[in-house]
Amino acid sequence: MKISILGGTGNIGKGFALRMSKKHEVIIGSRNAEKAKASAAEYNDILANYGMEPGITGTDNKTAAEHANIIFLAIRYENIPSIIDLIRPVLDKQIIISVVVPMAKDRCHIQHDASPLMIDVPKEDYYVNYFCYTTPPAGSAAQEIAMLLPEGTELVASFHNVPSHNLADLDAELNYDVGVCGNSEHSKNIVSDLVRDIPNLRPLDVGPLETSAMVESLTPLIINIASRNRLKNIGIKFV
């Protein structure tokens, strides 16, 4: 298949490009075509160093969407309206995969204790930062995207909880479960096969698109757990 990754110059986009290029034709999309081409060249160099055939190309977001069967939206939540408005004229039976997570950094005051580590910290100055899920008016980022897409466009929410660093490291062994949400069994089956194309990732059917908020909200939870407990590259695995 031809897979375009809008936002493909970012961290998670890089991982998708490197992993998907093993079996599919990958097009990197960006607001700036030259930036996309530069990233594609960088990714091709990585593939070549691993003895793999480099075939990733880069172009602007609209052109990338037009020439794809599958479109990954690896973009910031706040960019959803402008991106959908841009690509809407070229959408024609493509399956769209949203990996968008709306979240923000917040901070919370923590009660001072009398431990030696805290003795010199003024009570009023002791705060901890954390990430929180910012629920969109529609319920989730995926549901918001669905409202903006042309009628009949198949949308799947997936790949939210795979750590970007490990995804982009071809030496890293992945062992995660990937939630798949959508209203079309046809598109969910195709996306589940894409999950299986990456060794040791297991797709799990979470339900209709309405369940996507639960999956999206796991991402800030994972980031907070990793930060507070000094863990790296953690994800979700159901055992």
**Alpha carbon distance 228, 124 (integer Å):** 21
Residue 226 lies in a domain: no
Mean pLDDT calculated for residue range 161-190: 95
Rounding to the nearest 10 degrees, give the CA dihedral for residues 11, 200, 140, 73: 40
Give the single-character DSSP code of 6. Answer: E
Residue 133 lies in a domain: no
Residue 78 lies in a domain: yes
Tally DSSP H helices, then E strands, for the chain.
Answer: 9, 10
Mean pLDDT calculated for residue range 62-73: 97
Helices (H), 106-204: 141-148, 164-168, 185-196
Strands (E) in 15-56, as ranges, are 25-30
Residue 113 lies in a domain: no
Residue 168 lies in a domain: yes
Rounded alpha-carbon distances, angstroms, from residue 169 to 46, 50, 58, 145: 10, 11, 20, 29
Q: What is the CA radius of gyration of the chain?
A: 19
Q: In the chain, how many domains are there? A: 1
Structure confidence at residue 130 (pLDDT): 84
233, pLDDT greater than 70: yes
Show the domain range for 10.
Answer: 2-101+138-216
Report the CATH number that the domain containing residue 68 is assigned in CATH.
3.40.50.720
Residue 88 lies in a domain: yes
Rounded alpha-carbon distances, angstroms, from residue 72 to 83, 115, 151, 206: 12, 48, 18, 19
Structure tokens at 42: 């960088």
Residue 84 lies in a domain: yes
Structure confidence at residue 120 (pLDDT): 54
57, pLDDT greater than 70: yes
123, pLDDT greater than 80: no
Residue 224 lies in a domain: no
28, pLDDT greater than 60: yes
